[in-house]
Amino acid sequence: MAGTITGKHILYDVSLVVNSVDLSNRVETLTFGEMNTNKQDAGAMGDIQDYSMPGTLMITDPEVTFYADFEAAKIYATLYAAWIARTTFNIVGKASSGAASATNPEWTIPVFVAKAPMMTGKRGDRHMQPVTFGVAGTLSVATA
């Protein structure tokens, strides 16, 4: 189709499920873990140039800014219960709420609540809750 831009994506319909609770409509911003590779020095005696080899893989801690919510089974209830129990659980994210597919992969990361303020802001602000989830296991990806 002439004029159609393919292969590009606009975030507006993100799916985020935290500990089996769909919190998608409470998300303002998110970084669903960054893919990193720990670099290992590989230069040896006699090499005139330093270089690296790829080491172990690492996913950074996911960060989500939620609109604060005190309803039953939403932001506060879900996060506080998990934090107080010191439990690990899955967060599951997709770029679109549609079914998991090759063009809409579903990422699952086992996590725990690492940091979440009870309340933050100043007079007149939107009540937001930035949350950092600590990675507690291996990332999995579903495409079907």
Q: Report the CATH fold assignment for 15-41+51-142.
A: Pnp Oxidase; Chain A (2.30.110)
Is the alpha carbon torsion for 10, 58, 137, 88 positive or negative? negative
Is the alpha carbon torsion for 91, 96, 99, 105 positive or negative? negative
Amino acid, single-letter form, for residue 38 = N
pLDDT tens column, 77-102? 999 999 999 999 999 999 999 999 99
CB 111 within 8 A of CB 138: no
pTM of the model: 0.86
Task: Tell whether the model's pLDDT for residue 9 goes beyond 90.
Answer: no
The DSSP symbol for 13 reads B
